[in-house]
Amino acid sequence: MYVVHSKDTTEIKTSKPGRQIYYIGTPGVIDTNPQAFYVDRLYKNARIDPHFHDIDQYQVVVDGSCKMGKKAADPITFQYADAYTPYGPIVETGGKGFAFFTLRSMASGGNFAMPGNRHNMPGRAGRNIAGRFDTSRVLPDKGQTIIEPLMEEQPDGVAAFGFRMGQGGELKSPPSNAGGQYFLVCAGDVEVNRKILDRHSLVHVNSGEKALAFKAGENGALILCLQFAKPSKRPGSNPKEHSKRDPNSFVHWPKPRQ
């Protein structure tokens, strides 16, 4: 289990404008541990070109506005993509850029730019599922909580929920019975494992770990819960199979043309 306060993070220097802040994992390292980071592209004309990864992942837009491919995305929009499923481009739409979390159950082997990497896809592209957690609605009354399904739960366990918690509200998380879960604090503050977490704090639990107990603070809380698929024969879904990857084969973004 990882419980990461928004300030207990590491900012990584990048060659591009904006910021990249790591919560869990190490950039550029291939392993089977979870990986989570925040990407800041809060500037005009921000863009991320089409690409795919060799693992399943969620992205969660938490600031600004953009289009992910043809789909509009503003806070709090999430996108789940199966491994080896191209997506993008991600293009800002409001003149102020965008910022998002990338959440993975295991580390990626890098960025496979498209076009140009079709030969590295083991088959047809998989699922690309988008959803939204509406954080503008009034919170429940004091002491009350609501768990809201945010997508149709998939047969392999992929699922998303929104927790709406009034002041002092308490709840237990859904069982982590698939490929692990992330919990992102979208607003307010909440106590987890005797630690007070504020906006943009993050929790990860592995499959089979006991349910978490959440207690909202004075301002209530809004929490996004994202669950990964059960490991299977589908490429990119099984950490044990991915342990066979060459740890030195991380794929970096291609250098821009001169």
pTM here is: 0.94
DSSP string, the chain: -EEE-TTS-EEE--SSSSEEEEEES-TT---SS-EEEEEEE-STT-EE--EE-SS-EEEEEEEE-EEETTEEE-TTEEEEE-TT--B--EEE-SSS-EEEEEEESS---B-EESSS-GGG-SSS---EEEEE----SPPPPTT-EEEEE-SPPPTTS-EEEEEEE-TT-EEEPPP--SS-EEEEEEEEEEEETTEEE-TT-EEEE-TTPPPPEEEEEEEEEEEEEEEPPPP-SSTTS-HHHHTTS-TT-PBPPPPPP-
All structural domains of the chain, each given as residue ranges with its CATH number in brackets, are: 2-131 (2.60.120.10), 135-227 (2.60.120.10)
Q: What is the pLDDT along the chain (258 residues), one digit of tens a residue?
A: 999 999 999 998 776 788 999 999 988 888 889 999 999 999 999 999 999 999 999 999 999 999 999 999 999 999 999 999 999 999 999 999 999 999 999 999 989 999 999 999 999 999 999 999 999 999 999 999 999 999 998 999 999 999 999 999 999 999 999 999 999 999 999 999 999 999 999 999 999 999 999 999 999 999 999 999 999 999 999 988 877 888 778 888 776 543
Please tell me the predicted confidence (pLDDT) of residue 241. 84
pLDDT for 246 equals 81
